[in-house]
Amino acid sequence: MPSITRDTLRSLLAPHAPPCVSLYQPTHRSHPDNLQDPIRYRNLLRTIEASLREKHDERDVRALLERFRSLGDDSRFWSHTLDGIAILASPDTFRIAQLQRPVRELAVVADSFHLKPLLRHVQSADRFQVLALTRHTARLHEGNRYALDPLEVDGFPATMTAALGDQRTEPHQTVVSFGGGASGSAAYHGQGSRKDERDRDVERYFRIVHDDYLERLARLSEKFTAAEAAGRGTAVPADAAKAAVEGRVATLLLDADAVLPGRIDPVHGTILRSDLANPEIDDLLDDLGEAVLRAGGDVVVVPKERMPSTSGLAATFRF
């Protein structure tokens, strides 16, 4: 089953004919725990059906529900799940993703897809990476407390030659002359053994491929704190929403677990507050992230304990 990538997210951010249904559910890899998964799925499906019938045409509702029900009856699918599933469906798309981390149960019917859990999955803010190194090769794996899987990264230096190119340490020699005049003999001595040179290359190699994500996240938090103090950042949802639709948000940090029911007016940036049961209402933080991505900004979904604010968001402005 195709994995979720940044290109996938971009396609889901594009306009889709409503209703847009977003279903997230934790699942289990093995028997007997996975026996409960189809049952929980059908419960979420009932929530979706009730929300769909509040507003949308019966024909559209029937067509969407038919695809969801077909998946619910697919015993092979439910026997080969991982740690979570995401289903994004509308009249013009039906995308299923197996996730290698648990997600909170969520069923949303709105005019756009709810993507915040997938943003977190793609950028992996709280996942860890395992780097297996020899002197000549490197293999990268990514995982969490539940799974560890090979990771393919474009541009990753899988060999020392790829990492250092023509900048590998060359043996350095000095010339010492014994005896006087032009006829004196010369002895050549290397400053450092071949082992020293190799060890320097290995250390540089380690530094190049070492995962510095947490350090980057700390820098982003510090940058936000400084920007907020200078009036170039905000943790206030209303201010962030207005800045997002104006294209002024450079970086947006979102609390992975926070949910603020609401909706952003895409023209004026004003916020409509309501309940998630309303078919036109999604998570305000999700709408905010989508607006920033569409304007070319960066969105990072992070664990609550690493957020530099308590409002669920931290926006750093371009200007």
**What are the domain boundaries of the chain?**
6-123, 128-209, 213-317
Question: Which residue type, as a one-letter code, is found at position 249?
Answer: V
pLDDT given for residue 178 in this prediction: 46
Instruction: Just give the CATH number of 213-317.
Output: 3.30.1330.30
The letter for the amino acid at 11 is S
Condensed to tens digits (0 to 9), the pLDDT of residues 37-88 reads: 999 999 999 999 999 998 888 888 998 999 999 999 999 999 999 999 999 9
Tell me what the mean pLDDT of segment 235-258 comes to.
Answer: 96
Closest to 56 in 3D by CA, of 260, 266, 280, 252: 280
Q: Distance between CA atoms of 270 and 79, rounded to whole angstroms?
A: 45
pLDDT of residue 138: 74
Give the pLDDT confidence score for residue 68 in this predicted structure: 97
Which ranges in the chain belong to alpha helices (H)?
Answer: 6-13, 37-55, 58-72, 75-78, 116-123, 160-164, 194-209, 213-229, 237-245, 284-294
> What is the tens place of the pLDDT at every residue in 219-230?
999 999 999 999
Q: What are the tens digits of pLDDT across the range 81-118? A: 999 999 999 999 999 999 888 899 999 998 899 999 98
Q: What's the confidence (pLDDT) of residue 207?
A: 59
Which tokens is 187 given?
A: 């002895």
CB-based contact 23:86 (threshold 8 Å): yes
Q: How many contiguous H segments (helices) and E segments (strands) does the chain have?
A: 10, 16
Per-residue confidence at 140, pLDDT binned at 50, 70, 90?
Answer: confident
Entry pTM: 0.67
Determine how β-strand 106-110 pairs with β-strand 233-234: unpaired
Q: For 6-123, which CATH class?
A: alpha beta
pLDDT digits (tens, 9 = 90+) for 163-176: 666 665 555 444 44
The end-to-end CA distance of the chain, in Å, is: 42
